[in-house]
Amino acid sequence: MNKETPLVYELSQEGKKGFSLPHSHFDSSDISKLVPESLMRDPEMDLPSVSEPELVRHYVNLSQKNFSVDTNFYPLGSCTMKYNPKINEDAARFDGFANIHPLQPEDSLQGIMKLLFDLESSLKEITGMDRFTLQPAAGAHGELCGMMLVKSYHEARGDMKRKNVLVPDSSHGTNPASAALFGFNVVEVKSDERGRVDLAHLKSLINDETACLMLTNPNTIGLFEDDIQQIQKAIHDVGGLLYYDGANMNALLGIARPGDMGFDIVHLNLHKTFSTPHGGGGPGAGPVGVKKHLIPYLPTPLVKEEKGVYSWDEDIPDSIGKLRAFLGNIGVLVRAYVYIAHLGREGLKQVSQDAIINANYLKKKIEEHFTVPFPGFCMHEFVAQAVKQNDLGVHATDIAKRLLDFGIHAPTIYFPLIVAEAMMIEPTETESKATLDQFVKVMLTIADEAVEFPERLHEAPFTLAISRPDEVKAARNPILTYKDYRASKDNNGSSSISTTGVPVHAG
């Protein structure tokens, strides 16, 4: 199973096929007489010729190489790779959700519209916000939505000089990217020695040109921004808005609400906190919630309810417009709704409590061997550093790669950027003490290995089909199609494919 799988093209043998068509009752015509030559494909399409069992085995073997939260522990910090309950999947496949069309008449869509309306009500209660749009397709899309709302809000007041968006130096990379994409000037705020926003530095940067501060709370180091009251006051005093990046909401469910902390805009990553599958690029959902003063600018349409009847509300004259077709990734919204409904208030609170306890347990257990830069309790995740190992020539990458040999997904490494040799570990609430203890055991084993044979760790992983893909070559000369691959083989006779081999995670 851990051998390298050939490409389906490499299995191809002329004459083999996996289909048989019935005898045709019609006369066949020469296609070149029916279709102009300019529209004909030349050369002919190059498709592999394989039999049905060969094809099935090829893809089943590939699928078994998947690393997923259904197969292994996945402590990928910031990504909240919690187990996704299968009841979510059941509900998303109900006929009434899976086989409807958004252009059906409203009276035939009342079920899904009620679900969306109720999901919005739950998200409002969980975050302390006044209204939500469910359209954004992911966290970064939500951020872009947020930036559009910020601009509309200031400009509607005739305040045209608000060009600066502040982000902490520990922020998710999407924060400055979203602000810059929408044309704002990004201003970086330093972290203090406690790993939190440096309040004095923040105050020195804000003025009547401040549009917004984007903040993750708890922040990317897994620490609660305990100056949040002073931060929100400082921003609001200069007329700016406060944006909440909800990537770390898994620490706060039922415990604290961004709306009560003074945030004006909030995005949630339903695919993280509310247990919808992610990794590999989506689909996700990044609903955006706002306080009253921003409701007039929300994307259209919203769902409204009158006397138990639901309808689309498209009468939002100052709306920033549509962000996504219809109401977003409906299947993801259904799954999140089911998760919230089946856990309820108490269940959601326990989710966050358990996530926090699990992270603190791991932190305590490994902090003697891996440096933890900021003392005290963490929230749902923490950052450890491979500092002692670095002195032995072993880096966070080597530790991450070695974990794969033990069937554990690597933590997020080299992020946040302000922490050297960072490993960001987020166990989530769904892991048992036995799994956590196994992780600790493996981490301590690797710490020992770093002392005993540091050189060998540079070769890890030892048990996987692909060990250390050449990431530099893959980035400099990406081979993305079979055509490119064949051309590169013809050019240099070598058959090595550059692939990064590392699962991409959705932000």
Q: Is 465 in the site for other proteins (CB under 8 A)?
A: no
The residues with which 168 forms a beta bridge, in sequence order, are: 189
User: What are the structure tokens assigned to 464, written together?
Assistant: 């996987």
Helices 174-181 and 139-156: angle between axes, nearest 10 degrees: 50
The Cα 23–Cα 153 span in angstroms is 66
The smaller minimum CB distance to other proteins, of residues 444 and 474, is found at 474
The smaller minimum CB distance to other proteins, of residues 225 and 421, is found at 421
Helices 330-366 and 110-127: angle between axes, nearest 10 degrees: 30
Q: Is 255 in the site for other proteins (CB under 8 A)?
A: no
The smaller minimum CB distance to other proteins, of residues 119 and 386, is found at 386
Q: How far is the CB of 244 from other proteins (least distance, A)?
A: 24
Give whole-number Cα distances, 279 to 80, 294, 412, in Å. 10, 32, 13
Q: How far is the CB of 500 from other proteins (least distance, A)?
A: 9
The smaller minimum CB distance to other proteins, of residues 309 and 417, is found at 417
Q: Parallel, antiparallel, or unpaired for β 302-306 and 265-268?
A: unpaired
Q: Is 309 in the site for other proteins (CB under 8 A)?
A: no
Q: How far is the CB of 169 from other proteins (least distance, A)?
A: 12
The smaller minimum CB distance to other proteins, of residues 475 and 487, is found at 475
The Cα 398–Cα 405 span in angstroms is 11
Q: Is 173 in the site for other proteins (CB under 8 A)?
A: yes
The Cα 134–Cα 317 span in angstroms is 19
Using the 8-state DSSP alphabet, how is residue 294 labeled? G
The smaller minimum CB distance to other proteins, of residues 117 and 414, is found at 414
The smaller minimum CB distance to other proteins, of residues 3 and 476, is found at 476
Q: Is 40 in the site for other proteins (CB under 8 A)?
A: no
Contacts of 79 (CB under 8 A, 6+ apart): 272, 278, 279, 412, 426, 505, 506, 507
DSSP string, 412-463: EES-STTSTTEEEE---TT--HHHHHHHHHHHHHHHHHHHH-HHHHTT---S
Helices 330-366 and 433-452: angle between axes, nearest 10 degrees: 60
Q: How far is the CB of 473 from other proteins (least distance, A)?
A: 9
Q: Is 41 in the site for other proteins (CB under 8 A)?
A: no
The 10 Å Cβ neighbour count of residue 343 is 18
Per the CB < 8 A criterion, the answer to whether 232 and 261 are in contact is: yes
Per the CB < 8 A criterion, the answer to whether 399 and 446 are in contact is: yes
The smaller minimum CB distance to other proteins, of residues 227 and 470, is found at 470
DSSP string, 313-326: E---TT----SSST
Q: Is 160 in the site for other proteins (CB under 8 A)?
A: no
Residues between 381 and 420 with contacts to other proteins, criterion CB under 8 A = 414-415, 417
Stretch that binds other proteins, among 27-35, 455-463, 470-478, 479-487 (CB under 8 A): 470-478
If binding means CB under 8 A, how many residues of this protein chain bind other proteins? 8
Q: Is 130 in the site for other proteins (CB under 8 A)?
A: no
Q: How far is the CB of 91 from other proteins (least distance, A)?
A: 39
Q: Which of 41, 476, 494, 495 binds other proteins (CB under 8 A)?
A: 476
Stretch that binds other proteins, among 200-208, 327-335, 358-366, 472-480 (CB under 8 A): 472-480
Q: Is 86 in the site for other proteins (CB under 8 A)?
A: no
Q: Is 181 in the site for other proteins (CB under 8 A)?
A: no
Q: How far is the CB of 472 from other proteins (least distance, A)?
A: 4
Given the rule CB under 8 A, which residues bind other proteins?
Answer: 173, 414-415, 417, 471-472, 475-476
